[in-house]
Structure 1
Amino acid sequence: MHSQPPFHSYDSIPHHHHQQQQDLDLLQSDQPGYGTRNIVEVSFNMVNATVGAGVIGLPLALLLAGFINGILLSIMVALLTFAAVYGMILAGQRVGVYKFAALGEHVMGRFGFHTLNLMLFIQSAGSVVSYFILVADTLPILLKLYLPDEYRYLSNRTLVTVMIAIFVIFPLNIPRSIGALASWSTLSVLLLPVMILSVLIRAPAYSTMHDAPLTMWGTDPVSAIGIMSFALVCSQVAFNNYLSQRNQSSTAWGCTTGLSTFISWTVSITFAIIGYLCFGKDVESNIFANFPENDNVINIGRLSLGLSMVLTVPMAFYPARDAVQKSLGFETAEKQPTTFQHYGVTIVLFVVFLFFGITVRSLGKVYSVVGGFASAYLAYMMPAMAYIGAFHPNWLPWNNHSYFLGFFGCSKSADLVQQQEGEEEEHQQDSIAQQQSLLIKDDETAIIVLPKRKLWLDLSSIILLGFGSIVMVFTAMKAFD
């Protein structure tokens, strides 16, 4: 039986400075009730995890989808993302599971556990590599342009990227809980308007050189959806951020999800519209590639982009590390990775991702493979199945015992089915009763009773499942053509 630890408010934990902070970091990464961040802080964490390298390719998405259709599709993707992330946390609350991979196992067994871990790794690893590519393509160029000649060695792409990675990015990847990054996430989010403003100021100067028709339909709307999915997906860090939030009620999480989704969509679509209107049919997968290297205003935007990517790498690194630790058996429902395992996996993954970030140059292929294959599964299909598995388990065919027993011609199915259904019902009732006995009414944590199903989420889960399946199949096919 899955059991939960008792909820506590932050103030109830003894203050023993460094040791206390380590204990809180460990608890906050694994158990509900230890969150210390407010709604705005967690929202910025979510925005930081969402608006990363993917936003650079959104002007291209408008070209592929058609300008008008692309904006409408972006609204649809944002709404589906909100429904997916919100419904998935409600599913976790319902069944008492607060890990993404564990929720996959709860819904689909070990197959679901390993499938989800694989998709999480592909998505997160692709994101980390793309962020390293952007850092390598941005900061060394700026150092080359503006540093004196005696510091020419600092313009070396590999050297600069390795130095920034080791001395700036790596320390941010050490903590276990993503909540420790809240302050850095706020800084990263504040850099994004600078990046967008630089494009807004300078792009019109180049717009007369390019044709940007306001078409309804583009040439490849399915690939455009893949790029948008990659740009807006954040389900892989939803549980980490939820556990770091002080107020863990369903209502508070709805506010966090709504605020973060709105900010992410606003930033993303603004950048996409500006980029498309100025460069139109000639827009690149990285919009900064459309500008000359000696444009000083744009270089401020490039600097903001580079610094933002430096601070965003950890937001994608954490889920990748979690996926590996779960697959290796270092992290289970009963235990957390040891200090040696934690640091070992962190160092190995960091070195591997940094290597590919330095050697790989094509952002377009990363967008296609990750956006078309992993993002569609993580952003739409898995959250939908998690919600259905928590609130409507009989909708899933593999949970319908009588169907499968009848299919295989088992005549002694009735007693077995009744026994299994009775055990499941007893397990669910015990789990719910146990959780309700542990839930406390507290102004600091604002924990409430288990959520009930919602009709709009019932409908959304069906739409998410169908939409995600279509996007995953078609964009994956195009990526490997």
Structure 2
Amino acid sequence: NLVNATVGAGIIGLPFAIAHAGFFTGIFASIIVAVLAQMGLYMLVIAGQRVGSYKYALLVEHLLGRPGYHFLNFMICVQAGGGAVSYFILLGDSLPLLFQRYLPQYPILGDRTFILIFVGIACVLPLNMSRSIGSLARWSIISVACLPIILLTILIRAPAYAPKERIPLEWVGPDVFGALGIMAFAFTCHQVALPNFLTLENQSTHSWKLTTILSTGISWLISMTFAVIGYLCFGTNVQSNLFMNFASDDPLINVGRFALSVSMILTIPMGIFPTREAIQKSLGFETASKQPTNTQHYTVTVVLFAVILGLSVAVRSLGTVYSIVGGFSATTLAYILPAASY
């Protein structure tokens, strides 16, 4: 679940981040960001054990009072909800193109708005109806299994698109701080750290430490392999969605696009679950002593899903989502609040 929550839409923007940070600075910065992210995951659980609270919002409330509680819930909504929007945007960039290519006799399937609404209601919404994030573990395995397919298609086909001129391997790029925001977005999954800790069979600090090191290491390896290959093949011309650099009629790349679509469908709930929880807490539906009723649970789920889907239909720029979410909320959730809680 942690790998699935981490390696989401953010991975597609990492070649773009490398181009903006500079090749060597980008790789070094990604290591620092990943290490700090792992430390944040570990510190959150340690802090939770100290105060006996395994809810991020309640933990911050213990530290900063009621204003901190609502501040955190707002940040989680921006981070996790923004992540879900970015997953939908990637879905909208991929599936309609595939349908246009392979099912041209059904032009409605090539309409981005129709596909997002149809797939959202038919495939994504049912996954969000459960109360427990642990129910997604089985689906997360399928989602993570799609990642090697995505990487292999990029690895095999990207060299064919590489320009003849030499790709610059610069130490420092034009926008290091902007790149850091994208990286922070790519490695932030702290809003689901405590719920995932509670799903472990062995809920010890040592087990959680090993889990976070392993999951962060796997996430970094997958993400930076993707980033380096993408940058070395497209250089400064790389787009915020790497797949947009490839032709729409490339059959192998389209296999990667399909795998990406499946992965995004199964990853969207990882953004919606914590967003829903934050909203339920702010509305008073969920407290330390009570859980939302079925009516409250399903109402918040459907309304939240509709808002996220509506934003996804309206917003087409993945780079815009990266910049807003990464720079605004990811750094707060992944680094500032875990350190303060610890």
TM-score if structure 2 supplies the norm length? Answer: 0.98
Task: Compute the displacement of 1:57 (Å).
Answer: 0.6
Give 2:252's aligned amino acid.
V
Matched, 1:136 2:98: no
Give 1:129's aligned amino acid.
V
Aligned to 1:78: 34
Aligned to 1:350: 305
- Separation in 1, partners of 2:291, 2:165: 55
Aligned to 2:180: 225
State the superposition RMSD in angstroms. Answer: 0.9
Aligned to 1:42: none
SS at match of 1:331: coil
- Separation in 1, partners of 2:165, 2:153: 19
Q: 1:100 aligns with which of 56, 66, 80?
A: 56
Q: Percent identity?
A: 55
- Separation in 2, partners of 1:240, 1:210: 48
Task: Compute the displacement of 1:359 (Å).
Answer: 1.5
Q: Which moved more, 1:206-215 or 1:376-385?
A: 206-215
Give 1:301's aligned amino acid.
G
Contact between 1:211 and 1:279, CA under 8 Å: does it hold in 2?
no
1:292-339 CA deviation, whole Å, 9 max, x = no partner?
111111111111111100000000100100110011000111111111
Contact between 1:211 and 1:281, CA under 8 Å: does it hold in 2?
no
- Separation in 1, partners of 2:21, 2:56: 31
SS at match of 2:34: helix
Task: Compute the displacement of 1:282 (Å).
Answer: 0.5
Q: 1:303 aligns with which of 234, 258, 270?
A: 258
Task: Compute the displacement of 1:148 (Å).
Answer: 5.0
Contact between 1:210 and 1:282, CA under 8 Å: does it hold in 2?
no
Q: 2:295 aligns with which of 328, 332, 340?
A: 340
Aligned to 2:278: 323
Aligned to 1:53: 9
Q: 1:175 aligns with which of 118, 130, 133?
A: 130
Task: Compute the displacement of 1:155 (Å).
Answer: 1.8
1:59-114 CA deviation, whole Å, 9 max, x = no partner?
01111111011111101111101111001101101110100000110110011101
Give 1:100's aligned amino acid.
Y
Q: 1:113 aligns with which of 64, 69, 78?
A: 69
Contact between 1:210 and 1:279, CA under 8 Å: does it hold in 2?
no
- Separation in 1, partners of 2:139, 2:81: 21
Contact between 1:210 and 1:281, CA under 8 Å: does it hold in 2?
no
- Separation in 1, partners of 2:176, 2:260: 27
Structure 1 residues 210 and 362: CA distance shift in structure 2, 3 A = farther
Q: 1:271 aligns with which of 222, 226, 234?
A: 226
Runs of 4 or more consecutive aligned structure 1 residues displaced over 3 Å after TM superposition: none
* Aligned positions of 1:121-132 closer than 5 A: 121-132=77-88
- Separation in 1, partners of 2:261, 2:341: 36
- Separation in 2, partners of 1:148, 1:327: 46
Give 2:280's aligned amino acid.
Q
Give 2:221's aligned amino acid.
T
Task: Compute the displacement of 1:125 (Å).
Answer: 1.2
Matched, 1:294 2:245: no
TM-score if structure 1 supplies the norm length? Answer: 0.70
Aligned to 2:25: 69
Give 2:65's aligned amino acid.
G
Task: Compute the displacement of 1:255 (Å).
Answer: 1.2
Give 2:122's aligned amino acid.
F
Q: 2:47 aligns with which of 91, 98, 106?
A: 91
1:414-460 CA deviation, whole Å, 9 max, x = no partner?
xxxxxxxxxxxxxxxxxxxxxxxxxxxxxxxxxxxxxxxxxxxxxxx
Give 1:78's aligned amino acid.
A
Q: 1:361 aligns with which of 305, 310, 316?
A: 316
Unmatched segments (≥5 aa) in structure 2: none
Aligned to 2:154: 199
* Aligned positions of 1:414-453 closer than 5 A: none
SS at match of 2:53: coil
Unmatched segments (≥5 aa) in structure 1: 1-44, 388-481
Give 1:121's aligned amino acid.
C
Task: Compute the displacement of 1:152 (Å).
Answer: 2.6
SS at match of 2:149: helix
Q: Which moved more, 1:235-244 or 1:158-167?
A: 158-167
SS at match of 2:130: coil
- Separation in 2, partners of 1:301, 1:358: 22
Aligned to 1:386: 341
- Separation in 2, partners of 1:146, 1:336: 46
SS at match of 2:240: coil
- Separation in 2, partners of 1:344, 1:240: 22
Contact between 1:68 and 1:216, CA under 8 Å: does it hold in 2?
yes
Aligned to 2:214: 259
Task: Compute the displacement of 1:153 (Å).
Answer: 2.2
- Separation in 2, partners of 1:330, 1:290: 45
Give 2:57's aligned amino acid.
A
Aligned to 2:236: 281
Give 2:234's aligned amino acid.
F
Task: Compute the displacement of 1:216 (Å).
Answer: 1.0
Task: Compute the displacement of 1:210 (Å).
Answer: 5.7
